[in-house]
Structure 1
Amino acid sequence: MPDKRVVGISGNITRPSKTRTFVDHIVHRLALSVGASAQTFDIEDFGHSLPHARRLDDLAPEARYIVNQAITADVLVVGSPTFKGSYTGLFKHCFDLFDPSSLRGKPVILAATGGGERHSLIVEHQLRPLFGFFEALAMPTAIYASDKDFEEGALISEAIHARVGLAVDETTRVLGRSDRRSIAA
């Protein structure tokens, strides 16, 4: 059984979802690269307690389980569909419940989907500052995919596949450095 874990969180509330497919693609590609286990969740998996929760203790057990998986993962892959130029409200609300120090130093791959190119800066202007607040280690390569990058729900763009490869390579190097540090300790 792999000792590393990659967890994905998709900010979409509908199924099937391009965002979930995209996040899951990144999660599995990274897990394969580093020999890790892979899990992907979306907002729907948090259940009905999420919208009304004001703190983690207000979440139902299945939602607290997902938060724990994200916090204890070796790497987090987060993605949101673009809604009016930003991430979805429930995606943000979910992360509002996390302790501010819970993601400190955790490698995070940032991803987003949207209808067109005009929303492509969501990863830099919305997601990167959010995970900067948590002092997470957001990978330099963030990935945005628009509707034209998918066909029948599958990612088809070679350019996006290449960006995913860059983000996976960056994360693999970061994980390799942390392994060497723990061996030295």
Structure 2
Amino acid sequence: MFATEPVRIVAVSAGLSNPSSTRLLADRLAAAARDRLDATQDRPVDVRVVELRDLAGDIASHLVSGFPPPALEDALAAVTGADGLIAVTPVFTASYSGLFKSFFDLVENTALTGKPVLVAATGGTPRHSLVLEHAMRPLFAYLRAVTLPTSVYAASEDWGASGDEYTEGLPARIRRAGGELADAVSGGRAVSGASRTPGLDDEVVPFEQQLAALRTA
């Protein structure tokens, strides 16, 4: 019976537009974690994405009243009950968005204790990539979560770029981070990204085409 319990991965996306690069990154990271889990263990994998833009009014109401509406209560329960968490925010004013922070302000400060968290962010320029280190890691350290070694920042120019001999392209970073999350929740052994046989994920797909796919999904 125990073996049939699913591994629960929850991705929190704070993107404001629809579609958004933030949601796209959350989906890609969740898919990478699912792929690793499917390859390394027999338990089913349950992936859920929490879109904060759909909960903005509920978040504001809870901050004022102290009582979460049902949809927000369900989202908070999903986050705190997950085996592994993916947290993705757009960068606003050199930090995480207000919507992202407001949501995690509603999470009890012990509810994520020991939970593996993959942090990621999107922005228009690579200059904001340090938001992962100076803002997001401290936030989840306060919440007593375990942030994974690899964090992922995706600037506009990273989408559809294959990287170079000194840096990994975005698909490789997504694979590595998703693999770390999968290994953290399952106790599996990490597999070097260099040993992976290149596949379709390595193909360079223009950003506009990736967003268009979200519109038709």
Short-chain TM bin: 0.7 to 0.9
What's 2:42 paired with? none
What's 1:183 paired with? none
1:57 deviation in Å? 5.1
Distance in 2 separating the partners of 1:16 and 1:170: 27
1:169 deviation in Å? 2.4
Distance in 1 separating the partners of 2:26 and 2:65: 24
Q: How does 1:1-185 map to 2 (within 5 A)?
A: 3-35=6-38, 36-54=45-63, 58-150=67-159, 156-158=160-162, 159-177=169-187
Is the Cα contact below 8 Å between 2:56 and 2:99 reproduced in 1? Answer: no
Distance in 1 separating the partners of 2:83 and 2:27: 16
CA RMSD of aligned residues (A): 1.8
Pick closer, same or farther for the CA change 1:54–1:169 going to 2, 3 Å: same
What's 1:153 paired with? none
Deviations 1:106-161 (A, max 9, x none): 111000000001101111111100000011010010000001122xxxxx334111
Range with greater deviation from structure 2 (94-103 or 24-33): 24-33
SS in 2 for 1:49: helix
Is the Cα contact below 8 Å between 1:12 and 1:80 reproduced in 2? Answer: yes
SS in 1 for 2:12: strand
Deviations 1:56-81 (A, max 9, x none): 95221011111111110111000100
Q: Please list every run of 5 or more consecutive structure 1 residues that lacks an aligned counterpart in the other structure.
A: 151-155, 179-185
Q: Please list every run of 5 or more consecutive structure 2 residues that lacks an aligned counterpart in the other structure.
A: 39-44, 163-168, 189-217
Distance in 2 separating the partners of 1:7 and 1:157: 27
State the AA in 1 paired with 2:161.
S
Percent identical residues: 31
SS in 2 for 1:50: helix
Distance in 1 separating the partners of 2:19 and 2:133: 26
SS in 2 for 1:58: coil
Distance in 1 separating the partners of 2:65 and 2:130: 30
TM-score (ref. length: structure 2): 0.74
TM-score (ref. length: structure 1): 0.87
Is the Cα contact below 8 Å between 2:62 and 2:69 reproduced in 1? Answer: no
Distance in 1 separating the partners of 2:57 and 2:83: 27
Pick closer, same or farther for the CA change 1:39–1:135 going to 2, 3 Å: same
Is the Cα contact below 8 Å between 2:122 and 2:153 reproduced in 1? Answer: yes
